[in-house]
Amino acid sequence: MKKRYIMPDVGESAPSFSLLNQNGERVELKDFKGRDLVIYFYPRADTPGCTTEACGFRDDWTEFEEENIGVVGISDDPVAKVAKFHSKYNLPFDLLSDEGGKVGEMYDSYGEKKMYGKTYMGVKRNTYVVDSKGKIIQTYLKVKVADHSKKILEDLRK
């Protein structure tokens, strides 16, 4: 029987991950120790909603940097597709490939979805903010992409 993951909650340790980025380089959660990290899960590279979300983080990147906040986007797209998306929109943060959705499952952001009467496995559009010690401090579920990055910045500044 497949292990069922429960969404990590605020105050819990963020599930560890090790994935390949757009350059085929390994990126791990522990690489961000000492700074906050936004982990956003997006369903499919270079689709309208995912592009809006990624470009929002890109456009607000200077503010994330000023606040010492890292950002990574995770999808189940292969590295080649992630690389093309990253390059096309000149994204200043890593996009990570989670083919098979194992990391997404640990964050309850990969699983059964339904669209137009069909059921399939895919990435759920959720975001987690992890503090400098590796604890989840904020969750955003079923994210609306417009101004999502601005909302995160606003919440973290409170």
Instruction: Quote the tokens at residue 52.
Output: 């809006």
Contacts of 118 (CB under 8 A, 6+ apart): none
Indicate the pairing of strand 94-97 with strand 127-130. Answer: unpaired
Would you please indicate which residues are annotated as catalytic (active-site) residues?
Answer: 50
In degrees and rounded to multiples of 5, residue 111 shows phi and psi of 170, -160
- What does the alpha-carbon distance between residue 138 and residue 30 come to, in Å, rounded to a whole number? 18
- Comparing CA positions, the residue from 74, 56, 73, 75 lying closest to residue 152 is 56
DSSP state of 68: T
> Which residue's structure tokens are 């401090």?
137
CB distance 78 to 97 below 8 Å: yes
